[in-house]
Amino acid sequence: MTTTSTFPQRRTLGVLAGSQVVGGIGNGAGLSVGALLVREVSGSAGWAGTATVALTLGAAAATLPLATLAAHRGRRPALALGWLVGAVGAALVVSGSAGGSLALALAGLVLFGVSTAASLQARFAATDRSDGPTVGRDLSLVVWAMTIGAVAGPNLTGPGAALGRALDIPEIAGPMLFSLAAFALAGLLTLVGLRPDPLPARDAAAPPPVRIRAALPHVRGAAATAIVAVAAAHAVMVAVMALTPVHMQDHGSDLEVIGLTISLHIAGMYALSPVMGWLADAWGPARTIVLGQLLLVAAVVVAGTSGHSDLQITVGLVLLGIGWSASVIAGAVLLTRSVDDDVRTPLQGFSDMAMSLSGATGGLLAGLVVAWQGFAVLNAAAGLLVVPVVVLVLAGRRTARQVSGGTP
């Protein structure tokens, strides 16, 4: 881990946290209406899941280019570019909704998803100059900063609808205008405030950064466990969360109730992040990953048996968010600690790409499963993804025990 005693880590964490708060408003506002917007434009519930697919594919496509840009030019231009592309995406979504163009709306959602890639890589930027024992703390503080904006964002559905009416655009597209403004502000804050860069541009005389193809052989052991744990947890979370608004609306829930449920879910994802970071530092990332898997199982059981109960499905969504938090934060800490400095940035980007692709797959299959067998079956199928993660963690602990000749 690269550290310097004079590097202003506190300032870096402050700027990253500030951009997460603002960007979180944009993500929360857009996520709460994405599936509903696509269903309205397409005229079919079968297309609803493609909103999350488009968002996560956009994030997946951007992760490696942003990580490569960061390795060459620094975190500041990479993160700022991600937020600003997200703003362009939000504008296209509004245009597609207003013009009744599904293709334009989905293209906008793909670009909107690039903001998610920037948000994810901000947590790794927090660890570029962290001391080893505080990796979990620094990473989780930046993740936690998403809480304020992410919880507030979905509750902008009502004001967003009013803004849409005032501007003579579809009400469902109104919240995307808040996303546009929030992403633009997050990009500007990053561009202006993230100085000095926690991962500065390489000197011309320095060796070129390791490319992802050369870094992939390092995906083994603990690093492989970390990447699978993050990807699987994200797939479970996205699959269930993506179709929850549609499930609730089909049972007569109001937009405000749906927005509140998603807000509380997102609060579960981020509000306890410092606790998860502390657990990963003090208790160990492997144990924290297992805790996350147990919470995910509880979540799909509660949500999958919720029926028409808004209260029960909200509880399930909160548990889903907390399980995601434990798994993703501990997985990121495990990856950061288990690979060398020269391959860390490309492998972090690879992990985020795997995370986003798993989410895209989960969102795509979720719509098909719900249309075919319903929301309960979706939750049961999502819960099965916990199994390989637990197997990998237990296998890793067994191997460590054999190597050390005792309990690790």
* pLDDT greater than 50 at residue 4: no
Give me the sign of the Cα torsion angle 374, 379, 383, 385.
positive
State the Cα–Cα distance between residues 318 and 292, nearest whole angstrom: 13
> Where does the pLDDT of residue 405 fall: very low under 50, low under 70, confident under 90, or very high at 90 and above?
low
Quick one: 259 exposed, middle or buried, by C-beta within 10 A (0-12, 13-18, 19+)?
A: buried
Please state the rounded mean pLDDT for residues 357-377: 84
Cis peptide before 196 (omega within 30 of 0): yes
> How remote is the C-alpha of 364 from its chain's centroid?
17
pLDDT at 408: 39
pLDDT at 370: 82
What are 168-194's pLDDT values in tens digits?
Answer: 999 888 899 999 999 999 999 999 999
Asked if 178 and 192 touch (Cβ cutoff 8 Å), the reply is no
* pLDDT greater than 80 at residue 359: yes
State the Cα–Cα distance between residues 84 and 231, nearest whole angstrom: 25
Pairwise pLDDT comparison (223 vs 155), residue with the higher score: 223
Poorest-confidence range of 41-45, 270-274, 392-396? 41-45
Number of neighbours of residue 251 by Cβ within 10 angstroms = 14
Nearest to 319 by CA among 289, 303, 302, 299: 299
Please state the rounded mean pLDDT for residues 160-165: 88
Poorest-confidence range of 156-165, 233-242, 253-262, 385-394? 253-262
Percent of the chain residues past pLDDT 70, beyond the cut: 93
Give the 3-state secondary structure of residue 358.
Answer: helix
Please state the rounded mean pLDDT for residues 212-240: 90
* pLDDT greater than 60 at residue 75: yes
Superfamily of domain 9-199+218-404: MFS general substrate transporter like domains (1.20.1250.20)
Please state the rounded mean pLDDT for residues 289-316: 92
pLDDT at 327: 96
* pLDDT greater than 90 at residue 109: yes
Using CA atoms, how far residue 135 sits from 58, 129, 268, 325, 403, in Å, is: 28, 9, 21, 15, 25
Region at 151 (left for phi over 0; alpha for psi -120 to 50; beta for the rest)? alpha
Sequence-ordered list of residues with C-beta below 8 angstroms from that of 147, at least 6 positions apart, any chain: 24, 266, 267, 270, 271, 273
State the Cα–Cα distance between residues 227 and 64, nearest whole angstrom: 15
Mean pLDDT estimate for the chain: 87
* pLDDT greater than 90 at residue 45: no
pLDDT at 292: 96
Pairwise pLDDT comparison (272 vs 202), residue with the higher score: 272
State the Cα–Cα distance between residues 35 and 47, nearest whole angstrom: 8
State the Cα–Cα distance between residues 229 and 152, nearest whole angstrom: 28
**49-53, 202-206, 307-311, range with greatest mean pLDDT:** 307-311
What are 245-268's pLDDT values in tens digits?
Answer: 888 877 777 777 887 888 788 888
Please state the rounded mean pLDDT for residues 114-143: 87
* pLDDT greater than 90 at residue 316: yes
Quick one: 42 exposed, middle or buried, by C-beta within 10 A (0-12, 13-18, 19+)?
A: middle
> Where does the pLDDT of residue 206 fall: very low under 50, low under 70, confident under 90, or very high at 90 and above?
low
